[in-house]
Amino acid sequence: MNENDSMYYLLQPVDVHKTIDNCKHHLGVILPRMIRTSGQDITGLKSPSMDGMPKAPGFNNNADSTIVRRVTAEQIVKRTIEAIGHCDNTSKDVLSYLYLDNYTDTMCYMDLGYSESYYFHKVKPAALLEFADAYLLDDLHIYVEKSSD
């Protein structure tokens, strides 16, 4: 891929509604599953510490696939948290409340001081679109298909 191809993908029109739905799926379905798979506690996410002690390898035939699944899940969780952290303060608050602190939408817009209508039509969609821009492990954008003339 040359530089012009990468610019094309950066500037390609996004299907806003499908991208928002894709982000909701990632944050509401994929993230909780990856948290369970990774064995991480979402409230205590921090850098791993090394105790310096050697560990014996497991003897399970499925050890390799289990390790790969767990490491992949850990990366998805870490990159999701990181992407939320790269959003602006309002979006960060919305996404953290909804997907990390298990707030309902009602609790979220009331806590943040927005009207229901403004929250659902402006604030939450903007937060989800920002998340799509910030999450770099996969491209969560759904692009508008080019019409063939």
pLDDT interval class at 134 (50, 70, 90): very high
Which has the higher per-residue pLDDT, 44 or 9?
9
Render 83-149 in DSSP notation, one character per residue.
HHHTS-HHHHHHHHHHHTS---HHHHHHHHT--HHHIIIIIHHHHHHHHHHH--SS----BPPPP--
- Give a yes or no: residue 52 inside a domain: no
C-alpha to C-alpha distance for 22 and 116, rounded to whole angstroms? 22
- Give a yes or no: residue 50 inside a domain: no
C-alpha to C-alpha distance for 136 and 149, rounded to whole angstroms? 33
pLDDT at 61: 56
C-alpha to C-alpha distance for 67 and 57, rounded to whole angstroms? 11
pLDDT at 50: 42
Q: How many CB atoms lie within 10 A of CB 84?
A: 23
Segments forming the whole domain that contains residue 72: 14-39+66-134
pLDDT at 63: 76
Statement: residue 6 has pLDDT above 60: no
- Give a yes or no: residue 75 inside a domain: yes
- Give a yes or no: residue 92 inside a domain: yes
- Give a yes or no: residue 148 inside a domain: no
- Give a yes or no: residue 31 inside a domain: yes
Q: How many domains would you assign to the chain?
A: 1
Burial class (CB within 10 angstroms; exposed 0-12, middle 13-18, buried 19+) of 59: exposed
Statement: residue 32 has pLDDT above 80: yes
DSSP 15: -
- Give a yes or no: residue 32 inside a domain: yes
pLDDT at 69: 87
C-alpha to C-alpha distance for 126 and 124, rounded to whole angstroms? 5
C-alpha to C-alpha distance for 91 and 72, rounded to whole angstroms? 26
Q: What does the pLDDT look like over 48-104, one tens digit per residue?
A: 444 555 555 555 557 777 888 888 999 999 999 999 999 999 999 999 999 999 999
DSSP 58: P
Amino acid at 55: K
